[in-house]
Structure 1
Amino acid sequence: MTDTVGNSAFDTLTATVNDTTAPTADAGINQTVDEDTDVDFDGSESTDNGAIDSYEWDFGDSANATGATPNHTFADPGTYDVVLTVTDGGGNADSDSLVVTVNDTTAPTADAGDNVSVTEGTAVEFNASGSTDNGVLDSYEWDFGDGANATNATETHSYDSTGTYTVTLNVTDAAGNVDSDTMTVTVTEESSSSSSSSSSSSSSSSSSGTTEETGDDAEVVVETASEGTTKRSDVAVTNIDTSRPVVIPLEPPAGDTETGGAETDDSGTAGDSSSSTDETVSVAQLSMNVRNGDDFSLDVTTYEASEDEATSERFQRETGARPAGYVVVGHTIHDDDIEDVTFTFNVRKRYFEETNTGPESVALYRDEQTQWRRLDASLVDESEMRYVFEATSPGLSRFSIGSTVPVFETTAADITETTVSVGEEVELSVDVANRGGAGGSHELDLLVDGERVAGQTVGLGAFENGTATLSYAFDEAGTYELAVGDRVVGSVTVEDPGETETAASVDDSTAGADGGETDGGAADGDETGDDGGNATGWTLAVVAVLLAAGLGIAYRRRERDE
């Protein structure tokens, strides 16, 4: 600014312009992939008037990632909305989304049921409810081997002629994946009296047969064969009185009678111990009301949960319960002719010790294809080795005996620093999930080269996720492998700070020696080197000056005296 006489003055100010312009997010185009395939995402086409500070991805399956170009694998088929959120340095944000369609490439597993033998004209019930898929089964197709076909999960068909028929079941899921299974129907001539076949596989470790009267005239014949922890009982029911429940007693579990003693054979002597099995679950008895007086047959198979990992994983994911074992009941009587099926089943006490649960957590679950239906179970008795339960089902199919327990899983673990000094703590961030339907606590163990060095207890509610931090300080230098439980996390290098300082001192000393030579060529470290040479030179100079001064004074005195 200048006044009228030419005097000037000036001042300054600072103007701060805030960034209020949001960036533009670009998540990319929609993608279609197969399940369990890596999908690459690219948000680098996102723009801003400045610089983008962060990228955050939500993959729509509870997984997340950061960065401009992450990748992700979708384990289950379906449609996922993937959202990208970008934020600039001014805190302005924008979001964009894309759709990932994950194709179902896993074929279903068809289960046509077990082979059956009937007399001509007898209705045979076919049940495909044991078929499974990672999604939903879309169609069932039966070929009964005599030119007849059907398209429902459960069908009834009768054969007019004797012979052996191969029945084929084709199941198709919603994605068009197909699987087939076959069974054999043996049709014999109708005889005047009912009988049961007692044949069993030559690989079975034991077999037995019993005949029981239920009601005034009903007769139940049970033939049981066991192989390891799998047991199958073939049941024939004749002379039925529909006014009374049909009670089907099955064999008690091997090696455990009502008093906990050894089993006895028909003669009252102890049975061969080689026939004993160690099954976790077994069915002691079935009881049901029937509306039709026609003869029918059942096949009751029990097996361990460990023998069917795919079903066990699905069961645990859908119910939050841990399976102890399975019971599959095939039947020739139609579902509409059955009601109030009461299961009396046993669970070995050791199972509760291993899972840290009690009998109050047990329930019977019925596989209804679209879901597992929970049926309450009551504790009615116990022996030395087992608890005895009862539960009522509206019908027959595949069942799981399970208990609601916390099921913990370490889903991720990361080391915050991979290089530390002796005495400095190493921290691990651990993600934990409770897949079970009950809350509980879980002990995380930090292992160093396979040995436990630290731990922490994590408490989570049902179906809850959490994060814990484990830490440990090393007292010796070296390289160590870290693991959380059986999950290997990585390695950490521990350095000795004393060794680092010594190395630095040696480097400094060497540098001083290299640059310390005198003009006279003194060797490194020589006392007459740079510092010593300078001191000697100064001393000689001072002496010379003093001598000169002394001579000058003496000369002037002599002139004066003259």
Structure 2
Amino acid sequence: MNASSSPAAPSASPSERWRARAAVLAIVAVLVLSLLLATSALAQESDDTPPTLAGGERVNATTMQVTVADDTDVDEASIDVEDFSLSDGDLASINVTESGSNATVKLFLESGVNTDTVTVRSPADGAVTDAAGNALASDSVTVTGMDSRLPFLREFRLKRVNESAAKIVARSNEPLTGLDVEIRGPTSANLTRADFRAVDDNVFGVPHVRTVHFPEDGVYTVEVTSLEDESGLFVNLTTAETFVRDATAPTTEIDGPSHVEAGDRARFDGSASTDNVGVVDYEWTVDGETLANGSGFEHAFDEPGTHRVGLTVADEGGNADTANWSVTVHDAPSKRGVGVTATNDSARRLVVVSSNRTEERVRITDEYGRLVGDDDVTVRSLRVTLPTDETLRLNVCGNATAPGFEDGTGREALTVVSIDHGNETVRDPTFRFSVSASRLSRAGISYSDVALYRDDGNWTELPTEVVRATKSTVVYEAESPGLSTFVVGASGAERDWEASDGGDGGDIRVADARLVRDSVPLGEYVVVEVTLANDGIERGSFLAGLSVGSRVVDTRRVTVDAGETRSVSFATRAVSNGTVSVNGTVAGDLRVVTRDETPTEESGGGLLSNDGNDTGEEANGSENSGDGGGFDVPIPNPLALWPDGLVGTVLTGIVGLVVGTYGVLKALAIYLGY
């Protein structure tokens, strides 16, 4: 019989098995957590190491990041913005995040700093702690790459040391590793940071200094082209200063009139003054009194006589030069009460002579001593006699026409002037006019071939005299019986030498002949004043001839009324020494001098000026203008004085022998050590 077995235990359901497993896991977790808590508590009880600043790095131009490290755990709540200080810059705020047992702290700056390295420091006040209460000791970390400001110049200047040297001062906002300076001028150079020295002058910024020498005269530009700071930040610049080296004095040149009428404004020009670098200052004086600055100057001379106009010019280097200009002021009728007004037509002037004056004889001209005309032919003034209680109105036109003049006279018209005077009458009108040397040259006539003609139904040549002559201008004066249309034209004087007495009707003789100056520079004018007298009972003409030595240099036919005298003037270029005479009457002995000699002048004052100008405007028509104007002056060749033939050959041999002997003796003396 089979033995009976015991009944089997019932098996657990799946749900019961999962509940059992969960209970086991819960028990294990509690045990582990308890173990960790116990371990942490044990570690905290045994932690005596304080946290430290473990490192720092740049986040951006205004943000840095540092790590507060601890072996257990940093108390992030203990970290505040006051717990950090910076070597450069201002801290605005912080942001703290946990990173394991460490804390990451971002430091936000108020603005970028001007240095590459920033030191972050923690204070020793126990404010930052770990979980065990250990305080962060005084510590610091360095953050690099924080420089966000470009270098710049706080100051750049050149400080002159002397006339040829200057100190360059380039003051930057921070120390530099790169500094490029370019010097341009007559000589050029390039300087780098190694050529400068940084100095500490206890002034904000860093000055970099270098003294440079400028070897040649001229204008130099010193320019800073680039800067580089210690962080490698680089900037291009174009900051420049100018230095002028000038050891050479300027040369002063004055251009202006040498003869003016009292009361007229005269223009003087110094713009032709030169300097190797440049003229920067002009100072004008009259008779020693400083009156004006600038390259041009105007002045009205009230007192007749000789006056001195001075001009001092200076350059950038302070060098100066002075020149003087002599002006002869001639007495003239008053312009008081005279008004000359320009019109839309530049050649026409309206003239009003008021009754509010005290003089009967008046001079009609503008403030510069010009009435109408141009640089070639100018009517300078009209002198008239008018009762003081009368008003005169004239319409003066300088570009009028003269129908029939050239056909009727066979002469060339240089200019035509018409004067519309209505029904008003004046007495003793006298014209003063000038003709440039270049205009005479273009017309192919001599200075003495000029006369003033009046339209009185026929063209009548008026007695015309030379007042004065310079290289560029001849000034004439002519009297007229009344006002009308006038022509300045070629004279009808005969040009051929006929006979020693030159007579044609009347009984005319040379009563007086005077050489205005007996010493004249080569090529300048010789002026001779001649008085002719008619001792007869009828009007006649006389052919006056001017001679230098045995050579006749000019002739002129002059008409003289019966029982009257007439003065005429000759002017011819000074070419050679000799006795000057008019039809045999001696005027004086002429001596031709070189330019550096001082010509003499008689005490009575002369008509001739040595400056080559009569007015500033007329200077434009000078004979040296390059257009063929002016008078042709034969200049003697000095070599022509050397004798020819046998005498010349012998002299040449003697000179050669002397020169050769001197050379041999000189060489022997050098060889012997003398």
**TM-score over 0.5 for the pair:** no
Greater Cα radius of gyration, structure 1 or 2? 2
TM-score tier after normalising by the smaller chain length: under 0.3
